[in-house]
Amino acid sequence: MDNAHACTACGDSLSTDWAIQGVSTTPGFIADLSHSYINQNQQRYGTSKASPALISSLRGAGQEIEDYTKTQMVTASLNYTNDTWGVNTQLPFIRRTHGTFGEEENNYGSSFSSNLGDVRVIGRYTGLSVDRTAGIIAGLKLPTGSTNTKFSGGTPDLINTSLDRALQNGTGSTDLIMGGFVSGAAGKYGWFAQGTLQHAVSTKTIDGLDYRPGDTYLLNTGMRYAKFGSQFTPMLQLMYTHRRPDTGAGASPADSLTQGPSTGGTLVHLAPGATIRIGGGTSVYGFIQLPVYQNANSLQLGANYTLTLGIRHSF
């Protein structure tokens, strides 16, 4: 639900930087570079894997059937923290391959894209409490990502036709992001909880077709364990994502059997990970996101895991 917006498996609520959650108020900059990999090759319908019979029924009714989507995303971010406020800017670069069985029998299309995604600028204010353990979040997702990827391989009648808007590296919309967070500590444990709402306030019409990505609700709670000292810190996060269906003439067609929405859904991820400090203000980290609950509107692609690795430097 981050970058391949039609799927339930693409959660983007993972927090890779404890300081950005307001847990740390040390003034200064943090530069971060991360790489995420997700291979969506699992057909899901509702809360379970889609059966071959169901897929055949949808196919027979003329519905497109997505085959796979492989996404690699490199995100460069710069975070600044002052006494009571901070700002984080995220610049993603997305490399994606995708395959789809078309609406007509024996049709198949494949695509490749490698370009900028949608930039995010998120501010936070921690002056709501004396100890600065609670705050508000406000920011924008900007329409910097590509929206013109076309099928480049497959059967001739699909080549050079546009991918669904939900599969583009950018939504074409300017989104408002609002939320809040709270954090604390108990002995060797630190924790945070955060909630945000993302809503498109300005959209882009392409080829005469309007498109509005569905609102996204994110809840994320995390815990870290400091008994091993400052060099190694294990973490565990639980993330809830609910995305409402996309709307507009450019949105994916309705489910061919139920006529209900074919985008949106609910996902819960469990994400264990760790940060290792390597000295000089530099640390590396890794997380694996594991889906523990998925409820997809119509037939959507899911993934068994999402892997994120990164490096950051404080100065």
DSSP string, the chain: --SSTT-SS--------GGGGTS----EEEEEEEEEEEEE-EEEEETEEPPHHHHHHHHHTT--EEEEEEEEEEEEEEEEE-SSEEEEEEEEEEEEEEEEE-SSTT-EEEEEEEEE---EEEEEE-TTSTT--EEEEEEEE-S-S----B--EESTTTTTPBPPGGGSS--S-EEEEEEEEEEEEETTEEEEEEEEEEEEEE---BTTB--BPPPEEEEEEEEEE-TT-SSEEEEEEEEEEEEPPPBSTTSPPPPTTT-S-SS-EEEEEEEEEEEEEEETTEEEEEEEEEEEEEEEEEEEEE-S-EEEEEEEEE-
pTM of the model: 0.90
Domain hosting residue 94, numbered range:
18-314
In a domain, 12, yes or no: no
pLDDT tens digits along 177-212: 999 999 998 888 999 999 999 999 999 888 888 999
5 is a domain residue: no
Ranges 3-7, 82-86, 291-295: which has the least confidence: 3-7
82 in a domain, yes or no?
Answer: yes
- Judge whether 289 lies within some domain: yes
CATH assignment at residue 183: 2.40.128.130
User: How many domains does the structure of the chain reveal?
Assistant: 1
Is residue 89, in this structure, part of any structural domain at all?
yes
Does some domain include residue 53?
A: yes
pLDDT tier, 151 (very low <50, low <70, confident <90, very high otherwise): very high
pLDDT (mean) for 93-118:
92
Q: What is the mean pLDDT of residues 119-132?
A: 89
- Flag whether 81 is in a domain: yes
182 domain-assigned:
yes
